[in-house]
Amino acid sequence: MKKEPVKVKEASAEIRVGNFAEVVQGYSEEEALAESSRCLQCKNPLCTSGCPVGIDIKKFIYHITQKNYQAAYFTIREKSNFPSICGRVCPAEYQCRKECILTKKGSPFASEQAINIHFLERFIGDYGKNNNLNVPEEKEERFTKFKVAVVGSGPAGLCCAGELARKGVKVDIFESLHKTGGVLRYGIPPFRLPWDILDFEINYLKKLGVNFITNFLVGKAKAVKELFSEGYSAVFLGLGAGVPSFLGIPGENSCNIYSVNEFLTRVNLMSAYKFPEFHTPVNIGKHVLIVGGGNTAMDSARVALRLQKLKGYPLNTTVIYRRTEVEMPARRLEIEHAKEEGIKFEFLVQPKEFIADEQGFVKKLICLKSKLGEPDSSGRRRPVIIEGSEFELDCDLCVIAVGLKANQILINATPDLKTDKYSDVIVDSESMESSIKGVFAGGDIVGGEGTVIEAMGMAKKAAQSIIGELSGR
Ligand code: FAD
Ligand code: SF4
């Protein structure tokens, strides 16, 4: 008899919009066993080909069916350092689950019937965390005389540091913000990724001997070449893509129009949702508009809705996207959660001009309707404006979430560091070494806006190359 997918427990929409607690509750042991028993243990499993770091998914699921959770944990850890994090944030519906044999051929994303690989990974990641499992240290005396500088404490930096520290290399992580974690802390809200999950991983690195230096902007406080003269044997750049893109339309400089970075940083990193207990406010409005269709837009919308609820305003947050729902790059789960929570969507709509009041505060957004035309270079159909389709939306707070680019501070201060036309750092795709010998890079600073697992995959490769290089010295 065909077994139905095991649904994961979630906080109800009415309750969760009033707080920042985690929405998805994860599988119990019984549920994980039931879901794992649906896996067909395919002869040629396609799921692994969909995983950016090639986790042996069939094997770890098999171990779950045998209740051998420890073996399942170590199977995942062969390829991924942070299963509890990836099990929560990986866009599995576009990756492993999309390739699962149970997804209908030709679907743009995973079918409901596909094995819930991400929830199983989360179950195992949390099991590892709760039982203090970790891959054994492989400290070697010959590496302990070296120190490596890691710039940036996002998933790329954390992963590279962990790999090096396990071998005995001394690692200093330089982070420009006052808190560590990169986007995992300041971008992804705690109702998707609770901070204790991230803190657990960071504390583990500290136990391994990794040293965190916060409030330190490399490229200003110290140049990359100074790091070498201070005795670092190699430098890893995990700078991320922290600079927001804007629409470039009239009125965009009006008050209460935020870039996605500022909005999420204020709320997540500076606890604006607890103002005045914390000193950073967000002047949430009654008519909130979010422009964009990616994860950053979904996170902003769901944060804004919660702020409206906490303020006692009616829930009125609308996402404006220039294509249709099918083309939205956001995770399907986040889109569904946003809809359940009451977020409205205006598809095939493009902003034209913001209108502000006499004090300069945004009041309205003039929009244009569009239709889908021919596919662009990304393969997605291009939105084409419909002439004369202008209409207005009320707006007293807007978040622009239309893309992120590489931060140029360190790059501009490092003239020999070669970059591509998007200003991303160019590396050798095998070694992850940049145009400067001994300087490696990975994560969003290399591939542009990507995913957590992709950033970790690149960082792991870079760490292996650094170890290789240190072995030869
Ligand atoms: P980051 O996480 O950006 O970390 C870079 C760090 O480097 C930052 O802390 C920054 O302050 C620091 N830094 C930069 N320059 C310097 C310098 N010169 N000196 C010192 N420190 C410096 N991916 C998913 O897989 N699933 C999701 O659900 C998802 N949701 C997302 C939601 C949001 C709001 C955003 C913004 C991104 C999301 N992503 C998601 C993408 C994912 O978070 C990124 O691909 C990933 O964080 C990239 O990791 P990174 O380590 O390269 O960079
Ligand atoms: Fe299991 Fe799907 Fe992978 Fe087959 S493709 S082994 S059913 S997860």
d(CA 338, CA 374): 29
d(CA 93, CA 100): 10
pLDDT in tens, the chain (473 residues): 678 999 999 999 999 999 999 999 999 999 999 999 999 999 999 999 999 999 999 999 999 999 999 999 999 999 998 999 999 999 999 999 999 999 988 888 899 999 999 999 999 999 999 999 988 788 888 999 999 999 999 999 999 999 999 999 999 999 999 999 999 999 999 999 999 999 999 999 999 999 999 999 999 999 999 999 999 999 999 999 999 999 999 999 999 999 999 999 999 999 888 888 888 889 898 999 999 999 999 999 999 999 999 999 999 999 999 999 999 999 999 999 999 999 999 999 999 999 999 999 999 999 999 999 988 877 788 899 999 999 999 999 999 999 999 988 999 999 999 999 999 999 999 999 999 999 999 999 998 999 999 999 999 999 999 999 999 87
Residue 75 phi/psi, 5° resolution?
-65, -45
| Crossing angle between the packed helical segments 452-471 and 155-166, to the nearest 10 degrees | 30
Residue position matching structure tokens 């949430």: 284
What letters, b where the CB count within 10 A reaches 16 and e where it falls short, cover 65-97?
Answer: beeebeebbbbbbebbbbbbbbbbbbbbbbbbb
Which residue, among 460, 457, 436, 435, has the nearest Cα to 447 in the 3D structure?
Answer: 457
Per-residue model confidence (pLDDT) at position 379: 79
| Crossing angle between the packed helical segments 117-130 and 57-65, to the nearest 10 degrees | 70
> Cβ of 312: how many Cβ atoms within 10 Å?
6
Q: Where are the domains of the chain?
A: 9-15+23-130, 141-242+406-472, 245-404
Per-residue model confidence (pLDDT) at position 380: 80
141-242+406-472: what fold? FAD/NAD(P)-binding domain (3.50.50)
Cα 279 to Cα 21, 101, 154, 184, 260, distances in angstroms: 21, 51, 25, 22, 20
Determine the atom of ligand 2 nearest the C-alpha atom of 41.
Answer: 6
Bridge partners, residue 290, by sequence:
319, 399
Q: Which CATH number fits domain 9-15+23-130: 1.10.1060.10, 3.40.50.12640, 3.40.50.620, 3.30.1490.20?
A: 1.10.1060.10
- Domain pair 141-242+406-472 / 245-404, same fold: yes
Residue 102 Cβ inside 6 Å of ligand 2? The answer reads yes
Which residue, among 437, 434, 436, has the nearest Cα to 446 in the 3D structure?
Answer: 434
Residue position matching structure tokens 């769901």: 302
Residue position matching structure tokens 């795709």: 429
Per-residue model confidence (pLDDT) at position 273: 86
At 303, list the tokens. 């944060």
Residue 431 and residue 234 in contact, taking contact as beta carbons nearer than 8 Å: no
At 383, list the tokens. 């939105």
Residue 3 Cβ inside 6 Å of ligand 2? The answer reads no
Ligand at minimal distance from the CA of 39 is: 2
Name the CATH superfamily for 245-404.
Answer: FAD/NAD(P)-binding domain (3.50.50.60)
> Cβ of 345: how many Cβ atoms within 10 Å?
18
Could you tell me the distance, in angstroms and rounded to a whole number, from the CA of residue 447 to the centre of ligand 2? 28
> Cβ of 358: how many Cβ atoms within 10 Å?
6
Residue 41 and residue 69 in contact, taking contact as beta carbons nearer than 8 Å: no
Determine the atom of ligand 1 nearest the C-alpha atom of 449.
Answer: 45
Residue 46 Cβ inside 6 Å of ligand 2? The answer reads yes
Determine the atom of ligand 2 nearest the C-alpha atom of 40.
Answer: 7
Which residue, among 28, 3, 11, 9, has the nearest Cα to 120 in the 3D structure?
Answer: 28
Could you tell me the distance, in angstroms and rounded to a whole number, from the CA of residue 14 to the centre of ligand 1? 30
